[in-house]
Chains A and B, each alone.
Chain A
Amino acid sequence: MSTPTLDKSSGHSEALDAAEAAAGHLITVTMRIRRFNPEVSDAVEWVDYQFPIDPKERVLDALHKIKWELDGTLTFRRSCAHGICGSDAMRINGRNRLACKTLIKDLNPEKPITVEPIKGLTVLKDLIVDMDPFFQAYRDVMPFLITKGNEPTRERLQSAEDRERFDDTTKCILCAACTSSCPVFWNDGQYFGPAAIVNAHRFIFDSRDEGGEQRLEILNDKDGVWRCRTTFNCTDACPRGIEVTKAIQEVKRALITRRF
């Protein structure tokens, strides 16, 4: 079955079109996007959009071009557009990435570039998924400082080494690229998923925090770290380069050394 092609050049002024054509660095890409609109149909469809673009632009720019100039019905999340807010995680050419951190030229633009919503979460429309179960898992590991006794009158001091211990897991932007790349999570949403464990790790190994015991107890349960199959999909998917699987293994080790 052939996928529909949607090529359109209106929306530009002719002078702008001429200027763009004169710029020889543009290439023609085909964006193949998985679309779903429950208000129109219960069917999922792949729609192709073909247009010229600078290969040094990002996938997010291509999506903007589609939404602003070709087809305004395309729906996706993005906020800061610079890899910090974690809104635009999507499955691009079969891998979870941030659309705002992926350049067209790095994706082999000779072939159609496929864009899908991240897996394992309910698709609400086009590239937008229901993030509630993801954030529920995040809340369930209590991602906040827990201390006992009176508050100190000055800041809670920490040595550089103690800070270094959990530095990697402070980088998480909660984009869900790791959790939605996890094959265990795809089939069983009850599993905490890598992102929640990373954010628990950030406090478990913080010398200022005193709630580590509680968090370890939570992750020791049947849907906690023991369901991790160390497939490293999460580490590959993380747009921040966090060693997610390593963090999960460190929590496992902490649980075992606590017990024995």
Chain B
Amino acid sequence: MSTDSVELSSSSASFSPENPAPFIEAPRARTKRTPRATRTNFELYGWLFMRLSGVVLVVLVLGHLLIQLVLDGGVTKVGFAFVAGRWASPFWQGWDLVMLWLAMLHGGNGLRTVINDYAEQANTRFWLKTLLFTATAFTIVLGTLVIFTFDPNIR
């Protein structure tokens, strides 16, 4: 009987029962000490927020796209004057503000979930989430500032 076999990856080291090859450890395996309990409801509220904000965003975003791209001559009408005209009304200011906050938080939380699912190293997770948080906070602050301080008479 011959047991010749083709190895998918080769190594020059010779292994023996005294010197076995290292295992390929599963990512972030659970141990007696990890994960540590946090005892918060953050994930529960996060999960609920995703569902509720999703429902509201369907209306806000589809309405937004309809107004901007379809009704009244489509995308060609959108210009500085159009935006200035809309933001003169508190209703559209409120619409855009709610849409900005919900979309950013919904997307940000979704990306946080993706990072939690795919990033294996603790360091990678930390820096990706820091970057995500910074970008989300920056966009929300900037957008909110623009909506409230928009001056149609700017030259």
Contact = CB atoms under 8 A, between A and B. Distances in A.
Interface of A: 1-4, 6, 8, 10, 35, 38-47, 70-71, 120-124, 130, 133, 136-137, 140, 183-184, 186-190, 217-218, 220-224, 226-227, 229, 252, 255-256, 259
B142 interface: no
A45 B7 contact: yes
B44 A255 contact: yes
A41 B11 contact: yes
Contacts of A252: 47
Contacts of B4: 4
B51 to A, nearest CB: 10
Contacts of B1: 6, 8, 10, 70-71
Interface in B83-106: none
CB-based closest 8 A-B pairs: A42-B21, A226-B43, A38-B21, A38-B20, A43-B7, A189-B29, A133-B30, A133-B29
B29 A256 contact: no
B28 A123 contact: no
Interface stretch (B64-72, B116-124, B131-139): B116-124
Nearest to A196: B30
A39 B22 CA distance: 10
- With a 10 A CB-CB cut-off, give which of B2, B44, B120 has the most chain A CB atoms: B44
B117 A259 contact: no
Contacts of B20: 38-39
A190 B30 contact: yes
A41 B24 CA distance: 13
A123 B20 CA distance: 13
B39 A217 contact: yes
Contacts of B38: 221-222
Contacts of B23: 38, 122-124, 130
23 contacts: A38-B22, A43-B7, A44-B8, A120-B26, A121-B26, A122-B25, A122-B26, A123-B23, A124-B23, A130-B26, A133-B26, A188-B120, A189-B27, A217-B39, A222-B38, A222-B42, A222-B43, A223-B35, A226-B47, A227-B43, A227-B117, A255-B44, A259-B44
